[in-house]
Amino acid sequence: MTQIKNNIKVSVPEEEMEKQREYAALTKSILHARNASKQPLAFVRTFGCLANISDSEQIKGMLMDMGYVLTETVEEADFAIFNTCAIREHAEDRVFGNIGALKPLKQKKPQMFIALCGCMMQQEHIVEKIKKSYSFVDLVFGPHVLHKLPEFLYTAMNERQNRYEISQTDGLIAEGVTRHRDSAFKAWLPIMYGCDNYCSYCIVPYVRGREKSRKFEDVMEEARALVALGYKEITLIGQNVNSYGKNMYADIDFSKLLESINAIEGDFLIRFMTSNPRDCSPRLLDTMAACEKVAKHLHLPFQSGNNRVLKAMNRGYTRENYIELIEYAFRVMPNLSVTSDVIVGFPGESYEEFCDTLSLVKQIRFTSLYTFIYSAREGTAAATMQDNETREEKVSRFTELTTLQEGIARDRTASMVGKTFRVLCESENKPGSGVLTGRTQGNVIIEFPAALKHIGDYVDVLVTEAKTWILKGIPVNNR
Ligand code: SAH
Ligand code: SF4
Ligand code: F3S
């Protein structure tokens, strides 16, 4: 048994979880009493990152415990829930557009129940807007109280009045929530929640609360269960996985966790998202290199190549630290694939400073980049910083960056032709096409002809052709 420092409380008490299971059972019997001949249908739509995708699996699990059957068609749903993302204005606009589209549906089907949850709903100004302009929404709750969905649903159904459940308390992790996994061979495994880094542009620490790690035993138990169920790929998720266990354990950190999961017997791959350069140590890179089940892919967002901008972003590392880390990573893992996130147009960023981002991209030669134009988020430090650049100028820099990266990606994928990669068959690229898609360990998409029965299996694929972002290939020694 590992010792948690100062015996801090980590999980929601078991009595509370038991209470939620009782609410779920009660709701199920009420729904059944209302209409015994037809099971109610639930629609879940997810916006945002892996944290939300993983939370939505729990939402689906809880809904199924309450007797719902999942549907992909919102029009036929008795219950619809949107799990929302607040990371950029564009993400929020998409959510509002989608909520607006539900209004005529609700008018046609007044008994339909509509709920909103996720990161947007942890912001007061958003909840005010929903109350005022979207009063047809029945239930609103934030990410800290996700496990209370059965209770909210039960009370909202009985009281028949709108509920807005925005708890400011956070800090405890709900273990044992039923999860309906979207895949039978690829699993998300949350290892930590929240973020304490307060990058000056970012809303996540405000909506997801303080950084907290799951107990080592809880993570290990779930990992073992996934392997026993035949899962072939386990992705460890958190905003900042490198700081797993910080302030909690004296003897367990992210490297130790990786080693422990790597030691579970079985044929599976371990991925993780996201790492922050601030806490990415050479020891972690050595561990990645030594663990044969850990994918040789590192997603390490650098955001900007300029030290003044990095400081203003409160990122906690310099351009030189970042380059040194990546050089070390390539030294210990010559075949490593590195991907990253970049923000263009941070307040006050000059064209010369942006050029430092371009030069970093040229130097590292990333496999792929997720590029974003800065979006001001209410309540963050950067939102009050002077921003003189026009939108047109930011878009032009953004295009310059994506064009540069496109050339690099083209060269990178071209150099993969003729090589063979072990790939997990994930899905058919188009229905009936006979072509499956998967990803290399380095996270490059690859398409190849194979029978549907191979979905969920590993196959060796020889790359025959490279497009900019995807590879095409043929399976070799495909059993
Ligand atoms: N925890 C992760 C990032 C999660 S958010 C990390 O620190 O690496 C995913 C990405 O969205 C960030 O890496 C950043 O590039 C982008 N992002 C976050 N806030 C943003 C904002 N206000 N405007 C534009 N992009 C943003
Ligand atoms: Fe946001 Fe920074 Fe935390 Fe990532 S590390 S979630 S960018 S505050
Ligand atoms: Fe969005 Fe929340 Fe993730 S703001 S990016 S869904 S943590």
Give the pLDDT confidence of 93-103 residue by residue, as tens digits. Answer: 999 999 999 99
- Judged against a pLDDT cut of 70, whether residue 272 lies above it is answered with yes
- Judged against a pLDDT cut of 90, whether residue 149 lies above it is answered with yes
What pLDDT does residue 168 have? 67
In the chain, % of residues over pLDDT 90: 91
3-state SS class at 116: strand
Which residue among 46, 47, 49 is best mutated to probe the pocket of ligand 3, counting the most ligand atoms within 8 A of its Cβ? 49
Q: Ligand 2 center to residue 205 CA distance, Å?
A: 7
Residue 223: burial class (beta carbons within 10 Å; 0-12, 13-18, 19+): buried
Q: What are the tokens at 461?
A: 């694929």
Ligand nearest to the backbone CA of 274: 1
Which of 3.30.70.100, 3.40.50.300, 3.40.50.2300, 3.40.50.12160 is the CATH number of 10-165? 3.40.50.12160
DSSP-assigned letter for residue 2: P
Least Cα distance to 275 among 319, 231, 226, 326 occurs for: 326
Provide the edge-to-edge strand list for the sheet that holds 163-165: 69-70, 41-46, 79-84, 113-118, 139-141, 163-165
380 lines ligand 2 (CB under 6 A): no
Confidence band of 161 (pLDDT split at 50, 70, 90): confident
Give the pLDDT confidence of 328-339 residue by residue, as tens digits. Answer: 999 999 999 999
Give the pLDDT confidence of 302-320 residue by residue, as tens digits. Answer: 999 999 999 999 999 999 9
Least Cα distance to 459 among 477, 437, 441, 432 occurs for: 477
Helix 351-364 with 391-414: angle, nearest 10 deg:
10
- Judged against a pLDDT cut of 90, whether residue 4 lies above it is answered with no
Beta bridge partners of 298: 338
Strands 113-118 and 79-84: parallel
Q: Ligand 3 center to residue 312 CA distance, Å?
A: 22
What pLDDT does residue 3 have? 76
Q: Please compute the mean of the pLDDT values over residues 367-384 and round it to a whole number.
A: 97
Q: Ligand 3 center to residue 49 CA distance, Å?
A: 5
What pLDDT does residue 170 have? 66
Beta bridge partners of 139: 115, 163
Quickly list H helices, 281-419: 282-290, 307-312, 319-332, 351-364, 391-414
Least Cα distance to 205 among 190, 193, 194, 217 occurs for: 194
What pLDDT does residue 124 have? 93
Q: Are 187 and 236 in contact (CB under 8 A)?
A: no
Q: Ligand 3 center to residue 470 CA distance, Å?
A: 26
Residues with Cβ within 6 A of ligand 3?
48-49, 51-52, 85-87, 119, 203-204, 207-208
Q: Which fold has domain 183-295?
A: Transcription Regulator spoIIAA (3.30.750)
What pLDDT does residue 5 have? 77
- Please list, in sequence order, all residues whose beta carbon lies within 8 angstroms of the beta carbon of residue 384, skipping any fewer than 6 positions away: none
Query: To which residue do tokens 């589209």 refer?
Result: 101
What pLDDT does residue 278 have? 93
Confidence band of 156 (pLDDT split at 50, 70, 90): confident
Least confident of 7-16, 252-261, 398-407: 7-16
- Judged against a pLDDT cut of 60, whether residue 414 lies above it is answered with yes
337 lines ligand 2 (CB under 6 A): no
Atom of ligand 1 nearest to the CA of 380: 22
Q: What are the tokens at 226?
A: 């996934």
Confidence band of 164 (pLDDT split at 50, 70, 90): confident
- Judged against a pLDDT cut of 70, whether residue 1 lies above it is answered with no
339 lines ligand 1 (CB under 6 A): no
- Judged against a pLDDT cut of 80, whether residue 479 lies above it is answered with no
CB atoms within 10 A of CB 360: 20
Query: To which residue do tokens 């460890």 refer?
Result: 236
Phi first, then psi: what are they for 451, rounded to 5°? -75, 150
Give the pLDDT confidence of 188-211 residue by residue, as tens digits. Answer: 999 999 999 999 999 999 999 999
3-state SS class at 281: coil
CA distance 359 to 338: 16
Give the pLDDT confidence of 81-90 residue by residue, as tens digits. Answer: 999 999 999 9
Q: Which fold has domain 420-475?
A: OB fold (Dihydrolipoamide Acetyltransferase, E2P) (2.40.50)
Q: Ligand 2 center to residue 198 CA distance, Å?
A: 6
CA distance 96 to 324: 43
Average per-residue pLDDT for the chain = 95
Least Cα distance to 427 among 442, 441, 408, 448 occurs for: 448
Q: Ligand 3 center to residue 158 CA distance, Å?
A: 31
Give the pLDDT confidence of 109-130 residue by residue, as tens digits. Answer: 999 999 999 999 999 999 999 9
Q: Ligand 3 center to residue 54 CA distance, Å?
A: 11
What pLDDT does residue 2 have? 72
Give the pLDDT confidence of 178-191 residue by residue, as tens digits. Answer: 999 999 999 999 99
CB atoms within 10 A of CB 432: 7
The residue nearest atom 1 of ligand 3, judged by CA position, is: 85
Q: Return the domain boundaries, the chain.
A: 10-165, 183-295, 302-414, 420-475
Atom of ligand 1 nearest to the CA of 202: 19
What pLDDT does residue 477 have? 73
Atom of ligand 2 nearest to the CA of 278: 5
Least Cα distance to 298 among 262, 271, 334, 322 occurs for: 271
> H or E segment at 80?
strand 79-84
CA distance 47 to 53: 8
Which of 3.30.750.200, 3.40.50.11890, 3.40.640.10, 1.10.10.60 is the CATH number of 302-414? 3.30.750.200
Q: Please compute the mean of the pLDDT values over residues 55-82 and round it to a whole number.
A: 97
CA distance 311 to 314: 5
What pLDDT does residue 478 have? 55
Confidence band of 6 (pLDDT split at 50, 70, 90): low
Least Cα distance to 276 among 346, 206, 196 occurs for: 196
User: Do the first three CATH levels of 10-165 and 302-414 match, i.e. the same topology?
Assistant: no
Task: Give the DSSP per-residue string, 188-257.
Answer: EEE-EE------TT--HHHHH-S-EEPPHHHHHHHHHHHHHTT-SEEEEE-TTGGGTTTTTBSS--HHHH
